[in-house]
Amino acid sequence: MDFNVKKLASDAGVFFTRAVQFTEEKLGQAEKTELDAHLENLLARADCTKNWTEKIFRQTEILLQPNPSARIEEFFYEKLDKKIPSRITNGEILGQYMQDAANDFGPETPYGSTLIKVGEYQRRLGGSEREFIQTSAISFLTPLRNFLEGDWRTISRERRLLENRRLDLDICKARLKKAKVAEAKALATPDFQETRPRNFVLSASASALWSEEVNKAEQELRVAQTEFDRQAEVTRLLLEAISSTHVNHLRCLHEFVEAQTTYYAQCHQHMQELQRELASFPNTFAMSPSRSAGVPAQLAPPPGASPTHKALEVEEVQAPAAGTRKAKVLYDYDAADTSELSLLADELITVYTLPGMDPDWLIGERGNQKGKVPVTYLELLS
């Protein structure tokens, strides 16, 4: 294998010295060059942006696709750079099941025909959901993913390089400080005990050697300071671009809300259309407006009643001279308003009808109390 042994050894040495410097800084045994306050604020803002963007991205994925297995499958398709297959939504599956069931029950039956119609609208709802997922993935998820996998990786790489430049700078500072201390010591303590010329030569050589080391350390420090300043400027420019990222994500957020608004409006429209169609179906159960509002069905006007139908005034009702009967109450019944009479199961009351009265209702009397009662709650006695 062809590789440069010297370069490998040099890289290993640099890594070791940086590790030593980093460890000594953590232990408080070495000085650390602090970044300026503006750059520190930019770094904190970038970290905050990354963390929240990642959380919003993950949770939006869960909102659009709650199935974790489906999300993992889509993740692998993306990594393999393959097109994600179109996935049928749960609403479309439900609609298909309803229509298949209608074919087995009989599409001409009331239940079967209703299943067909509801299944059709469930499939429409599923189609709207699929469009919403696709639109949101393009307009919202993709820009967030591009930031996390593109811009943030670049920022992280430059930050690591800045940290390495700072460690190199502090190593050079420590080396220069050590060389200056050694030089000062060599100049301050010459060997005067020996008068032989050889000792003076050695003392002069040591001073020159440490002076050379100081000059070399100063030159390395200047180079390290230049590289650190250059890298700090590059990192600062990248971090200041986070403001542009916020503007872009703000625009994407508006598009996401617009997609949601369109989706829910379509769902509301589909359900209103479905309710209207079900109300027009013969022999099918359609919920009346009074019941859908939480009011008992007994308050609804009788079928076929004209808009000018006048409500029965119980106080004006007089029992006919003939035609009254006894009736046994089958179930408890709570009066919906003052025109009705509350009933208790198994009690006996007097009932009669009036001309033009709804056949589903009778007038019931219990002592001095009287009011309308539903026929289905009574067993008429002879």
What's the confidence (pLDDT) of residue 252? 96
Q: What are phi and psi of 305, to 5 degrees?
A: -70, 145
Of the two residues 324 and 31, the one the predictor is more confident about is: 324
Of the two residues 179 and 259, the one the predictor is more confident about is: 259
Mean pLDDT of the chain: 80
Place of tokens 């599923």: 126
How far apart CA 230 and CA 221 sit, in angstroms, is 14
What's the confidence (pLDDT) of residue 180? 78
What is the average per-residue pLDDT within 125-145?
Answer: 94
Of the two residues 175 and 16, the one the predictor is more confident about is: 175
Look up residue 357 and give its two tokens.
């009265």
pTM listed for this prediction: 0.62
Place of tokens 């169609």: 277
Q: Per residue in 324-360, pLDDT tens?
A: 889 999 888 888 888 899 999 889 999 988 887 888 8
Q: Per residue in 215-264, pLDDT tens?
A: 888 888 899 899 999 999 999 999 999 999 999 999 999 999 999 999 99
What is the average per-residue pLDDT within 21-48?
Answer: 82
* Confidence category of residue 297, pLDDT binned at 50, 70, 90: very low
In the chain, the amino acid numbered 179 is A
What is the average per-residue pLDDT within 120-124?
Answer: 95
What's the confidence (pLDDT) of residue 210? 63
Cα of first residue to Cα of last residue in the chain, in angstroms, is 112
